[in-house]
Every structure is written in C-alpha cells, then in structure tokens.
A and B are shown apart, each in its own frame.
Chain A
Amino acid sequence: MNTTPHHVVDVSHLSKTFGDGKTAFRALNDVSLQIKQGRFVSVVGPSGCGKSTLMQMISGLVPTTQGNIQIDGKTITGPQPEKIGVVFQDALLLPWKTALENIEFPLSLGDTPVAERQERARNMLKLVGLKDVGHRYPHELSGGMRQRVAIARGLVRNPSLLLMDEPFGALDEQTRTRMWGELLRIHEQSGTTILFITHSLVESVFLADEVLVMASNPGRIIERIEVDLPRPRDLKLLGSERLGNLRNHIWDLIAKPDDEIDA
C-alpha cells in the first residue's frame, strides 16, 4: 500500500457488515477513495447506500469490518479530533454554551490555555462570518447561523480533513443556497480538505471538485466524476447547462439499478 503524502484521505477496500450469520447486513462493500490536500469531494447516493456509515467510520466512531482508513498517513482506529473535524446534519450545539463557547468546546477537552482557546474560537467565528454573535446562545441563532457555528467548531482544531454529513439537509432551500456560498468561501479561505456527504445531486456537483456516486445493496462507489466547473464558483452557476448535465448524469446512475417510484 503506497501512501503518497499529499493524500490527506486514503481509504482502501473498506467494508462494513452489521450483525453476523444469516442476519448479517453488508452496509458497505470494498470502498476505496483518495483525497488530495485541499480538495472538496462529495459523496452522493440514495438513502441506505451506506454513505453515513462511511462517514462514521472515517470519523472513527464506528469500527471497520475490513479495510483500512488512513488520514495523513495514519491509520484510524478511533476518533481523531486533531486530524478530523466533523459537522453533523444537525448543528448539535450544547444549549448551555454560547456560540463562542461551543466553538471552544473541542479545545476545552484538551489542555489548550483559555486565552489561546478564546483567540482561536474568535478567529473561527470571524471566518464563518458571525463575529458579532459570539455571546448568543444556540436558541438565539437561526438555523443557518447554528450550522455555521458547527462548521467553526469543526475547524477550530485546524484539522487536515473536515467531514460533513448532510450538514444542510435540515435547512430550508434559501438558507441552504446561502450556506453553499458561505461554505465555498470558507473552503477557499481555510484551504481545508473537505469530504461532504449529501443526498442532494445539485449540492454534490455545485460544491465539489469530485463527486463519488454510491449505490446500495451493498453500499459501494459506482462512479467518480470530476467536476470541471471553474472556481471560485458563483451561485449563478446553479442554473448553468454544465451543472445541469452533470446532475442529470448522476441521476441516471442512481436511478438505473432499480427503477422504483417510491425511491
């Protein structure tokens, strides 16, 4: 296995089986993927294709059945908070902490001095464009703001990889569109490698440099698509023909295996 150092993520022949014997369920079968430093890769697929399992294994929360996950050349056996930042579908901010304290949370678990913690959290708050609301509690923030705080929290330890699991799935369309612009800007400014899991076809194409299309039963990657849209990306691209063609291509891939209406 040759790991070139510029591969931040190197997943090889990853499989996951839940249960055993007759009731065993193959959630993920022989998944391999590499992500170079600074790239934005999205994973898209129907529900139940194992994309969330993939993300849980990369974040170290769920053990692998077979295969190997390396981040920065180091094999993952458990959570790696200094290498991987995670953003979940819901912001999951601690309700008794202010926005700033929530961003500090990952640092407060270690032994980072308080002054440095606050400094770094404030910089992150600025990066996500919320520098004036650091003192507010989660219930005083809008859904989009909460998710931006969650992104800041994911980035505060300056990780090699930011793992995002359908982070905008719970937002309304207008907020989501605005968040796409924000995320592209944050990606550009921070240069962090991002692995973005989504079930939205448009989202997967618009944000990423590369789209991994997954299918279910068993969960596997069926195609890798290089997105050759220019950067920096403008929201106007959303209506472009090139993006539409890519989106339709992915839809054909996903819709092909079983043409069920209830999908």
Chain B
Amino acid sequence: MSILRKLLITILVLALWEALGAAGILNPMLVGTPSMIARAAMKDGTTFLIASRFTLVEILSAGAIAWTLGISAGVIIGARATSALIISPLLSAMIAVPLVVLYPVIVAWTGIGPTSKIIYGAATGFFPIALTTISGVSAIDRRFVDMARAMGANTAQVIFQVMARLALPAIMSGLRIGSSLLIIAVVQSEMLSATDGLGFWISYHRSLFNVGQVYFGICLVLVLAAGLNGLLNYCERRLRLQTA
C-alpha cells in the first residue's frame, strides 16, 4: 500500500513536471523535463552506465583508503589522551582548509585519470572520519581499559578489541559524514578535469546545453549516493543489533 502510494506520488510529480515544462511555465532549458531525460537515457545510456561504473570504482577506492586510514589513525591517536589533545586541534584546523585548492596540484602529480580523484576523495573523507573517531575513542569509559588490562589484554588488544569497539557509534557517524563528503569530492573533481565519470559527462553535456543528459547524470549520482547510504545503514543496523 505504501509502495503503491509512493509510486503514485512519483508519477504525479513527474507528470506535473512534464506538463509545466510543456506549457512553458518552467523553462525546459533550465530544469529539463522527464521526457528529455528519458530521451537522453536512450541516446547516451551506455556511455553513462560506463561512466557510473568508473565513478563507483573511484568512490569505492577512495572510500577504502579513507575508512582504513581514518579509523586506524583515529583509534591510535584517540587511545592516548595526550596524543588526542595534541593532534585533534591540528586535524580540526586542516578540515577548515578547502582541499579543492590542492586538486590542481594533485592532478599535476598524478594526471587527470582516476588516481587524482581517488587521492582527492580519500583526503576529503579522511579528516572527518579520523576526527570523529578520535573524539569517540577518547570519550569512552576508561574503566573498561583497566578491566581489560587486568584481564591480560595487551596494548593492541585494549585499543582494537575494547576501545575501538566501545567507540563504534561515534565511528559510524564519522563514516557517514566522511563518506558523503567523499562522494561529493569525487564527482566534483571529475567536473574539474577528468577523462570519464559521471561528473565529467554532466559537465560536458552542460557545456553543450544537453539539458536531458545533465539531469540524467544527476539522477545517476543520486542513485549511487543512495546506494552507498543504504549500505551504511545496513552496516549500522547490523552493529546496533550487537551493541544495543
């Protein structure tokens, strides 16, 4: 019933959009129409699918790097009160630096291929992930550390099996923020200079006034973002079941 209602609302909105465009109330050159998007999909669908895969690989690679480095750096730094105290402000300051100004430099180093997008995306995702992990780990109940040490845990076991696990809710929220910024960064950098990818094709068709293609590309970016968000939600639900 609710799925049916959602479908009905979607169709209604699309019909309204089409009608307003056809009636000239909304300028199709600015906001497109559903039929223009459909025609673009028929014409350039294959190109866009290949581009989606290209972008997805970049996002997943950047994500793997940002998650791994962000979580491990955050956990190790956060485990000791002194290192958390010294390094957190440094990282907070670096978050304020608009990394996009470094993008031309990254392109100069690694070319306009996917590598530069992966580095830029990973760097963008790293800081919020590391920072929230640090604050999460340094905020855990330290009595658990005493308990684990008394039970015979070594430093690595204390940090990874107890502290990181207790900080999981904070780490999850860091992953959520970091991952969405990372997706933005990858698509944005494809728009600046690239050889393929959704950002590249959106930018390309915009310069040719192919409004349908531009909106089709935007839709695909949204699908990617929603898919990755769904994956995170799934992970979070699984973990919450265990931590409740």
Contact = CB atoms under 8 A, between A and B. Distances in A.
B159 to A, nearest CB: 13
A56 B143 CA distance: 12
Given A109-B157, A137-B244, A94 B150 contact: no
A61 B146 contact: yes
B149 A88 contact: no
Contact of B165 (A59, A88, A94): A94
Given A92-B143, A92-B144, A109 B243 contact: no
Contacts of B143: 88, 90, 92
Given A81-B150, A105-B151, A94 B144 contact: yes
Interface in A85-131: 86, 88, 90, 92, 94-96, 105-106, 109-110
A106 B152 contact: yes
A153 B153 CA distance: 14
Contact of B147 (A84, A92, A95, A110): A92
A92 B149 CA distance: 13
A106 B146 contact: no
Contact of A79 (B144, B150, B165): B150
B207 interface: no
Q: Contact residue range for chain A?
A: 20 to 34
A60 interface: yes
B162 interface: yes
Contact of A82 (B148, B152, B161, B244): B152
Nearest to A153: B151
Interface in B228-244: 242-244
A198 B102 CA distance: 60
Nearest to A62: B146
Interface residues of B, number: 18
A81 B243 contact: no
B88 to A, nearest CB: 26
Contacts of B152: 79, 81-82, 106, 109-110, 157
A242 interface: no
Interface string B137-175: 000000110111111111001000110010000000000
A249 interface: no
A135 interface: no
Contacts of A105: 151
Nearest to B168: A96
The CB with the most chain B CB atoms within 10 A, among A86, A88, A109, A153, is that of: A109
Interface in A123-155: 137, 139, 153
A109 B150 contact: no
A79 B149 CA distance: 7
A5 to B, nearest CB: 24
A95 B165 CA distance: 10
Contact of A86 (B147, B153, B157, B242): B147
Nearest to B242: A96
A59 B150 contact: yes
Contacts of A60: 150
B147 A88 contact: yes
Contacts of B242: 96
Given A88-B143, A109-B157, A95 B150 contact: no
5 contacts: A61-B146, A86-B147, A92-B147, A95-B243, A109-B161
**Nearest 7 CB-CB pairs, A to B?**
A81-B152, A106-B151, A86-B150, A92-B147, A96-B242, A96-B243, A109-B152
Given A92-B143, A94-B165, 14 more contacts: A60-B150, A61-B146, A79-B149, A79-B150, A79-B151, A81-B150, A86-B151, A88-B146, A92-B144, A94-B144, A96-B165, A96-B242, A109-B148, A153-B151
